[in-house]
Structure formats: structure tokens, C-alpha cells
Amino acid sequence: MVSVTPTTATATAATASASSGGGTAISSDFETFLKMLTVQMQNQDPMNPIESSDYAVQLATFSGVEQQVRTNDLLQALGDNLGAAGLAQYGGWVGMEARAAVPGMFDGTPITVLPNPATGADSAQLVVRATATGQEVQRLAIGTDGTPVSWAGIGADGTTLAPGSYSFSVESYTDGARIGESTAEVYAPITEVRSAASGITLVFEGGGEAAASVVSALRQAQG
């Protein structure tokens, strides 16, 4: 006589439920579970019958898994709705300029850089790098009070640098010793808004990306 243990029936039913994709699949799995339970009862050892409490445990286990699947489906739907709401909320930002620590696109027009020297620094330098290569193209002495800097894109030889994407960082010094480096912020046009599990991400002109939560200011695009 074939013997089916409670553990086998429970594990099989729970696995089937966990892999289901909705209410119809769960209903089908429950029917399968009942058929397995019936076979289990028909093939139990008459000298050592399964305790009724074991059946209760199996039913409770299946019910718990079923409820978890439904909860997961509900959370997924809720997450999708929140994501759509986020896109709708931030969609109006496309075309505007946001202040964030991202590269700026240089087209011959000066870029306003918002530096953030370290507290206690007595001198600071603005370091400009070509985003594509990471190569340093310019280094300028700036104040330590965070005053905005208008970067004109004029090289040391007096020529205008090539159009493209440039990143800006600030090196802070005290008594000639470097005490830190931080990415400077710029105002950059937003070209796209993306929704992901981690939240809303903004895509800027030139390909830079930043979480919407780190944007410190927003303004109309400057003509």
C-alpha cells in the first residue's frame, strides 16, 4: 500500500500555491490539494492512521500560503499604482531645470556651478573634468563661502573648450592640505522621468541621473 505523509502533501500544495499567479490559479491549486488529501486518507496505514490534528495543520499551512500569495498580489498592485502616481507627479518636471550633483552640458554658454566647500576649509579649487573620459580639463581657485561660480569654458590658453558634458567637483584645503572633495551641483534640464523599485529617477540632458529626492531646487528652463 502506498503511504503519503502529511509533510509531502503539505509541501507540494504550498509550493503549487506559491508559484500561482492569481485567484484562478489558487483555486485550481486548492482543488489539487483536496485531491491529494483524499488520496492520503485512502492510502494511510490502517494500523497507524494519521491524526486529525495533522490534517488541520496541512489545511492551516495551505491557507497561510494562499493568504501570503494574495497579500503579495495586493502589494504588487499597490506598488504599481504608487509608481504611476509618482510618474504623473514628476512628469511636469520634464523640460525644467533641476539643481543636482550631475554633469552639465556645455554649448558655449557659461554654466552656473554651485560649489560646496568643506566646513573649515581656508581655500578651495573647482575641478572640471570631461564626463566621457574623466580627464581633468581645468582647475580654478574659488572662494570657500559657497558663492555660485559662472564657468565660461575658457581653457588656460584662452580658447573655448569643446561642446559636451562636463562634471564639476570641489577640492577643499586647510593650511595647504586637502581635507576633502565633493561633487558640485549645477542646474541641468530634465529630459526624462523614470519609475523603479528604488523610487523616481530623473534623467538630465547629457545622460546624468539622480534620484528626485536629492534635487535641491527647480526652475523654469533658461532661454
At residue 82 the predicted structure's pLDDT band, cuts being 50, 70 and 90, is very low
DSSP letter for 44, please. Answer: S
Whether 123 and 202 map to the same domain: the answer is yes
209 and 103 co-located in one domain: yes
Of 111 and 28, more confident: 111
What is the domain extent for residue 190? 94-219
pLDDT at 49: 72
pLDDT (tens digit per residue) in 87-129: 677 878 888 999 999 999 999 999 999 999 999 999 999 999 9
- Tell whether 203 is covered by a domain: yes
Stretch (H or E) spanning 6? helix 6-18
Q: Is residue 1 part of a domain?
A: no
Residue among 139, 144, 147 at smallest CA distance from 122: 144
Q: What is the pTM of this model?
A: 0.59
Residue among 117, 183, 103, 186 nearest 146 (CA): 117
Q: Are residues 62 and 11 in the same domain?
A: yes
Q: 132 and 165 in one domain?
A: yes
Give the mean pLDDT of the chain.
79
Q: Of the residues 31, 61, 85, which one is the last residue of a structural domain?
A: 85
Model pLDDT, residue 6: 45
Instruction: Point out which residues pair with 168 in neighbouring strands.
Output: 128
Domain count within the chain? 2
pLDDT of 24: 57
In this structure, are 110 and 50 located in the same domain?
A: no
Whether 179 and 99 share a structural domain: yes
Tell me if 182 is assigned to some domain.
yes
**Are 196 and 122 in the same domain?**
yes
* Residues 127 and 169 placed together within one structural domain of the fold: yes
Q: How far apart are CA 92 and CA 83, in angstroms?
A: 15
Give dist(CA 222, CA 216) in Å, integer: 17
Looking at the structure, tell me whether residues 72 and 138 fall in a common domain. Answer: no
Specify whether 99 is located in the same domain as 41: no
- 18 or 55, which is more confident? 55
The answer to whether position 171 is within a domain reads yes
- Say what percent of the chain tops pLDDT 70: 70
203: exposed, middle or buried (C-beta count within 10 Å: 0-12, 13-18, 19+)? middle
Tell whether 61 and 106 lie within a shared domain: no
